[in-house]
Chains A and B, each alone.
Chain A
Amino acid sequence: MAAYKLVLIRHGESAWNQENRFCGWFDADLSEAGEKEAKRGGQALKDAGYEFDICYTSVLKRAVRTLWYVLDSIDQMWLPVHRTWRLNERHYGGLTGLNKAETAAKHGEAQVKIWRRSFDVPPPPMDEGHNYYQNISKDRRYGDLTGDQLPSCESLKDTIARALPFWNEEIVPQIKKGKRVLIAAHGNSLRGIVKHLEGMTEEAIMELNLPTGIPIVYELDKNLKPTGPMQFLGDEETVKKAMEAVAAQGKAKK
């Protein structure tokens, strides 16, 4: 018997996704397609009659704006929203801004494969010479972060390690108070929550690519254990495609 329901939504296409560039902490905006994805996700929640009490998102505009589109669709713009760097996308360090071809050219295919397949090997750090260093590391929004907290790069393990304290200290108490929570965030920060909820292995979470712009619903028991697999909300075809894409991921040849 589900005591709680939790909804996650991964933002859709950003301008840099379009260009196939490592985005990470660069504050790329949603592309037009990404805006449509957010609206469609909002419509799915509206059609299913979802009500929330509190929302969480990152400090990156592609997630914040996705949340705004959703709140507008479900006519709940008045909900309290908490923004946190801890729900940011994984920080891609020195790879930020490079497209996939440039990355392979710069570091070699073998090294790229290691970074892609590793849970705990971080990419090279973003140092002061990096062309996005000022833009990201010196951004006002990170002014309160300590030297230890502000990353210069992250492995997936690092991303999860800084996301989970927020989940445990801020989000879980709200869920347990009976607040209906909506989280709009990024592929890797949401992987952290999913891995934790489902008790997935490192290998398994690396295989999982959450669909974008589609509300992901978990029903949780009173100990916050999922009572079943994640559900997707949307029209029949969208949901079917998303489920098939996820199922195929584990089988994809690398």
Chain B
Amino acid sequence: MSKYRLVLLRHGEGAWNKENRFCSWVDQKLSEEGVKEARDCGRLLKEQGYKFDLVFTSLLSRSIHTAWLVLEAMGQEWVPIVKSWRLNERHYGALIGLNRAEMALQHGEQKVKVWRRSYNISPPLIDESHPYYMEIYNDRRYATCDVPKENLPRAESLKEVLDRLLPYWNSTVVPEIQKGKTILISGHGNSCRAILKHLEGVSDEDIAGVTLPTGVPVQLELDENLKPVKPRQLLGDQAKIQAAIKKVEDQGKAKQAT
């Protein structure tokens, strides 16, 4: 019997998604398309009668902006938003800023798939020589985290994402769910996958096959032990959802030379 309801949302397109580049901790803004995706998502959630009590986002602007647009569409701008680095996108280390298609051409689709979809293989660490290193680590927001800046990740596997997300989930999100609050998590592809892996008990092998489309709300219904009582539901027009899933999967494939 479903006791709690939770919605996960992967933010919509940013400029780098369009260029197929690993964005990760670079603070990209939503593209015009991404803004539209967020608004459409908000309209859908409003039509379905959702009344949120609390929203969680990462420290990255695209997840926050998505939350704002969703709340605006629903007339729920007054709902509190709590932000944490622990919901940030997976840290792609030295691969940040690289184009997925070029990488697939250079290293092969398989290696890229491994980096993107394996559970415990981390990409190479980012270091000071990386063009985006300063932009990330000099940013003031990372001086406000609950770990010192020097202890923040320099690269992550999906396992490492869950390792830093789970304590926050347990200490901060779960108590709110248990109070009966209707929660929206406005997150990223991999932070959402990590949450799903944890809640649904997806194996290390199977999580590779889980693809979350952008801008599509994922509804979870949980029992009093926070175990799902039914499969996750992607809300909205099912044809659109399939197209969105395909779009994400195609990003991993090498582009043919034109």
Contact = CB atoms under 8 A, between A and B. Distances in A.
Interface in B78-102: 78, 80-81, 83
A93 to B, nearest CB: 21
A83 B80 contact: yes
A51 B141 CA distance: 11
Given A61-B75, A72-B65, A77-B61, 18 more contacts: A51-B140, A59-B78, A60-B78, A61-B72, A61-B77, A64-B77, A64-B78, A68-B68, A75-B61, A77-B64, A77-B65, A78-B59, A78-B60, A78-B83, A80-B83, A81-B81, A83-B78, A83-B80
Interface string B138-161: 001100100000000000000000
A81 B83 CA distance: 9
Contacts of A77: 61, 64-65
A64 B74 CA distance: 14
A95 B80 CA distance: 29
Given A77-B64, A78-B59, A78-B141, A27 B83 contact: no
A21 interface: no
Sort A-B residue pairs by CB-CB distance and give the 9 closest, nearest first. A59-B78, A61-B77, A64-B77, A78-B59, A77-B64, A78-B141, A77-B61, A141-B78, A68-B68
Nearest to B67: A77
A196 interface: no
Nearest to A143: B53
A65 B78 CA distance: 10
Question: Which one of A72, A77, A141 has the highest number of Cβ atoms from chain B below 10 Å of its Cβ?
Answer: A77
B38 to A, nearest CB: 13
B113 interface: no
A68 B72 CA distance: 11
A225 B119 CA distance: 56
Contacts of B59: 78
A61 B76 CA distance: 8
Contacts of B140: 51
Given A51-B140, A140-B51, A78 B75 contact: no
20 contacts: A27-B75, A27-B78, A51-B140, A59-B78, A61-B77, A61-B78, A64-B78, A65-B77, A68-B68, A68-B77, A72-B65, A75-B61, A77-B61, A77-B65, A78-B59, A78-B60, A78-B64, A78-B83, A78-B141, A83-B80
Interface of A: 27, 51, 53, 59-61, 64-65, 68, 72, 75, 77-78, 80-83, 140-141
A109 B180 CA distance: 50
Contacts of A68: 68, 77
A75 B65 CA distance: 11
B104 to A, nearest CB: 32
Nearest to B80: A83
B20 to A, nearest CB: 25
A80 B141 CA distance: 10
Contacts of A78: 59-61, 64, 83, 141
Interface string B215-252: 00000000000000000000000000000000000000
A75 B68 CA distance: 15
Interface string B110-149: 0000000000000000000000000000001100100000
Contacts of B75: 27, 61
Question: Which one of A51, A68, A80 has the highest number of Cβ atoms from chain B below 10 Å of its Cβ?
Answer: A68
Contacts of B60: 78
Question: Which one of A27, A60, A61 has the highest number of Cβ atoms from chain B below 10 Å of its Cβ?
Answer: A61
A78 B145 CA distance: 11
Contacts of A59: 78
